[in-house]
Amino acid sequence: MSGYNVSALRAQFPILKNEVHGEPLVYLDNAATSQKPQVVLDASRNYYELLNSNIHRGTHYLAQQATAAHEQARDTVAAHLHAGSREEVIFTSGTTDGINLVASILGYSGRIGPGDTILISNLEHHSNTVPWQLLCERSGASLEVIPVHEDGTLDLDSFHRLLGDHQDTLKLVALTHISNAFGTVLPLETVIKSSHEAGALVLIDGAQAVPHLVMDLEALDVDFYVFSGHKAYAPTGIGVLYGKRALLESLPPWRGGGEMIKKVSYEGTTYNELPYKFEAGTPNIEGAIALATALGFLNDLGLEEVHEHEHALIEHAAGTLSGIEGVRLYGPHDRIGSLSFNVEGIHHYDLGTLLDKMGVAVRTGHHCCQPLMARFGITGTLRASFACFNDEGDVQRLAQAVEKAVAMLR
């Protein structure tokens, strides 16, 4: 990790200079949303100060400059994901929007209908559960769930059994890349290969993976991959749906309006080519430009070095917290991004409230994973989630705050 200067890096995040309740801020809620470096804040501001214009159809200077910046952002995202082509990158408002888009077009196209099966896991965020439930209600398909082991890892034996049980009806497998609740990393190569052999399409929720891992979606051979910018140092309201080009070309549009058309008449409408077929209306131009800037920021840092730094922190935090009496950690030993825990006899909300008073920001609750919490017989956890700018001092402050809060609540 030579060259990874976390002190210099922290100086690039203005919000870290803030105090909370008179204490220096320790921000450990990055799985919910990450903080933004100055370069991303500047990109957002510069767009509105220098380029602000609607894109694609204007002939004037600002329209052309804004269009070029927006489409360059698409190129940047495609390169970052190692997509096969820029046409495979669809801008959305976030992961939830991307999943709903896919659910809608699979339903409209008739690819999923009565008697078909959709397979998800017990680790999924509600955003990768509810859209499929809605599709099942509309289409007459059924939803099946892959269970998880006690350590929060996917039960692969059950996964393969479910593939066999539904080999004649399985149409889609929709899974998270990394659990937002437990930090579990799914074995995607195995899952995708087996799902394809069973004749199913695969969608992966990459919201928690893109900030931490090098992406190569062509090598992964995934059909759809979705993520949100705001968890990867970009603003809220921007995200990406990646889809294999031939697949996207075969599917109908979701929303109607400007940009997704070639020709409109009262007799009928001809739809635009990819990627614009799925981008109705004025897009989040500033968001796309800032997202590209955020991905460039990550690439300049070196994602492998970022991952190594964060992995060391999360291991240190797990070891330190497990030494506090009554603490139970959830998830596997080899986590990425998030560390979930509870303290025996203390409600997670009460503990999280006291941590906040000490300047430590963590997330409490079910983390939009109520079925997963029910599997473990709990209502929620405390979740500390890490980013490139966190350091050993943050881990120490977290552990000290937990010890102090536990002593106060017992």
Which pLDDT band, with edges at 50, 70 and 90, does 174 fall under? very high
**Cis ω for the linkage preceding 275 (within 30 of 0):** yes
Catalytic residue among 136, 368, 369, 388: 368
Mean pLDDT over 370-379 rounds to 98
- CATH number for 6-30+302-409: choose from 4.10.80.40, 3.40.640.10, 2.170.190.11, 3.90.1150.10: 3.90.1150.10
Of 142, 145, 139, residue with least CA distance to 112: 139
> By mean pLDDT, which of 53-57, 95-99, 260-264, 380-384 is the weakest?
260-264
pLDDT value at residue 1? 42
Kindly give the pairing relationship between strand 26-27 and strand 89-92.
Answer: unpaired
- CATH number for 42-299: choose from 1.20.120.420, 3.40.50.10490, 3.30.420.40, 3.40.640.10: 3.40.640.10
Question: And the tokens for 151?
Answer: 């350590």
- How confident is the model over 330-351, as pLDDT tens digits? 999 999 999 999 999 999 999 9
Does pLDDT of 164 surpass 50? yes
pLDDT value at residue 58? 84
Q: For the chain, what are the domain ranges?
A: 6-30+302-409, 42-299
List residues bridging with 142 in a β-sheet: 117
Same fold, 6-30+302-409 and 42-299: no
Contacts of 348 (CB under 8 A, 6+ apart): 342, 364, 365, 379, 380, 381, 382
pLDDT value at residue 14? 98
Does pLDDT of 3 surpass 70? no
Does pLDDT of 11 surpass 60? yes
- How confident is the model over 30-81, as pLDDT tens digits? 999 999 999 999 999 999 999 999 999 889 999 999 999 999 999 999 999 9
Does pLDDT of 185 surpass 70? yes
Amino acid identity, position 402 = V
Which pLDDT band, with edges at 50, 70 and 90, does 2 fall under? very low
- How confident is the model over 102-149, as pLDDT tens digits? 999 999 999 999 999 999 999 999 999 999 999 999 999 999 999 999
Indicate whether this model's pTM tops 0.95: yes
Mean pLDDT over 201-220 rounds to 98
Q: CB–CB of 10/16 below 8 Å?
A: yes
High-pLDDT (> 70) share of the chain, %:
99
CA dist 65 and 347 (Å) reads 53
**Exposed, middle or buried by CB within 10 Å (0-12, 13-18, 19+), for 200?**
buried
Does pLDDT of 328 surpass 90? yes
Residue 136 annotated as catalytic: no
pLDDT value at residue 141? 98
Within 10 Å of residue 195's Cβ, how many Cβ atoms? 23
CA dist 254 and 265 (Å) reads 19
